[in-house]
């Protein structure tokens, strides 16, 4: 457990999982829904940016803007064309909407594979920093952007949800959408804003992590599950809770296979999920509601 290079890897993976969990947190907070297409948004951003920069020579900054803009548009389309019609037909039931967003994930994977190919993509050339060595630790070119991007995203969401009128309105609507509609609050507009922000964060996460290790179309499902579990572990009681959940999951991702074997992580993943779902489904941090 004292290998510093492994802790850097755990940090990188944990930051990425934390960003995905933050996207889950936003949709859950503002729409009361688990958006199982989050990993698909991240995958789409990474694949699109890699395809543009490595196969077609598009400038890195332009590829990043186009890729993240695409994920934001897809996220809004998910709410307008998938979640909203399904919820209107199904009434108050959440299961049809959950099935619909899960189907959206697989649709995104097939669509990305058809458009860009199913072979793994190399890291997109959107980050031009040089790797360096600090003591015995190698810091890759994607490490600092991933750290900085994560902190900026979490700080921005914390300020938005805690200090702005739209952020407080989002939390109010997420607590009880029915009452919010009766009060005449802008429910649909706020939900679109929530999905838009989640698409932005997921797209940034996909870009930053793909710049470290590359990306494949099949990563969408793995990233969706990892981000969801990080959100479950951290809970919804604080904006920073998803980051804690992601870091804990990243530590397990690196060190459990090292000491217990390659397949042990997936068994541990199932055990942790069952533990939290059965004993603490609200996660480590719980939302407190004043009565």
**Is pLDDT of 261 > 80?**
no
Domain-located, residue 197: yes
Residue 123's nearest CA partner among 210, 202, 13 is 210
CATH code, domain carrying 44 = 1.10.3470
Domain-located, residue 131: no
Distances (CA, A) of 108 to 44, 70, 78, 172, 263: 7, 12, 11, 31, 28
Domain-located, residue 13: yes
Domain-located, residue 288: no
Domain count, the chain: 1
Where helices occur in the chain by DSSP H, the ranges are 4-31, 38-50, 60-77, 84-90, 95-116, 143-163, 165-175, 177-182, 187-213, 219-234, 241-260, 264-279
> What does the pLDDT look like over 31-81, one tens digit per residue?
888 999 999 999 999 999 999 998 888 999 999 999 999 999 999 999 999
> What does the pLDDT look like over 196-241, one tens digit per residue?
999 999 999 999 999 988 999 999 999 999 999 999 888 888 899 9
Q: Considering only residues 70 and 171, tell me which one the structure prediction assigns the higher pLDDT.
A: 70
Question: Region 258-268: what's the mean pLDDT?
Answer: 71
Domain-located, residue 49: yes
Q: Considering only residues 101 and 166, tell me which one the structure prediction assigns the higher pLDDT.
A: 101
Q: Which domain covers residue 61, as residue numbers?
A: 4-124+139-279
Q: CB of 170 within 8 A of CB of 162? A: no
- The confidence band for 15, taking pLDDT boundaries of 50, 70 and 90, is very high
**Is pLDDT of 5 > 80?**
yes
Domain-located, residue 291: no
Domain-located, residue 221: yes
**Is pLDDT of 291 > 80?**
no
d(CA 230, CA 270): 13
Domain-located, residue 289: no
pLDDT of residue 172: 80
Average pLDDT over the chain, rounded to whole?
87
């Amino acid at each position: 457990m004292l290998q510093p290079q492994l802790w850097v890897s755990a940090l990188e993976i944990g930051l990425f999982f934390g960003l995905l969990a933050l996207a889950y947190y936003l949709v859950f907070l503002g729409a009361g829904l688990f958006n199982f297409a989050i990993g698909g948004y991240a995958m789409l951003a990474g694949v699109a940016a890699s395809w543009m920069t490595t196969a077609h020579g598009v400038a890195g900054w332009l590829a990043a803007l186009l890729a993240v803009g695409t994920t934001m548009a897809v996220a809004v389309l998910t709410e307008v064309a998938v979640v909203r019609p399904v919820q209107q037909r199904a009434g108050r039931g959440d299961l049809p909407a959950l099935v619909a967003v899960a189907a959206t994930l697989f649709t995104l994977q097939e669509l990305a594979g058809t458009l860009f190919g199913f072979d793994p993509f190399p890291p997109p050339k959107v980050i031009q920093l040089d790797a360096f060595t600090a003591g015995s630790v190698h810091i890759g070119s994607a490490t600092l952007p991933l750290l900085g991007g994560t902190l900026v995203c979490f700080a921005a969401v914390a300020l938005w949800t805690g200090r702005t009128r739209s952020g407080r309105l989002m939390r109010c609507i997420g607590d009880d959408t029915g009452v919010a509609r009766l009060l005449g609050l802008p429910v649909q507009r706020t939900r679109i804003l929530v999905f838009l922000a989640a698409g932005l964060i997921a797209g940034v996460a996909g870009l930053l992590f793909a710049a470290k290790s590359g990306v494949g179309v099949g990563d969408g499902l793995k990233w969706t599950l990892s981000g969801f579990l990080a959100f479950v572990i951290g809970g919804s009681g604080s904006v920073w809770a998803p980051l804690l959940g992601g870091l804990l999951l990243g530590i397990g991702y690196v060190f459990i296979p090292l000491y217990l074997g390659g397949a042990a992580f997936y068994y541990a993943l199932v055990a942790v999920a069952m533990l939290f779902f059965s004993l603490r489904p609200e996660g480590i941090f719980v939302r407190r509601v004043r009565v």
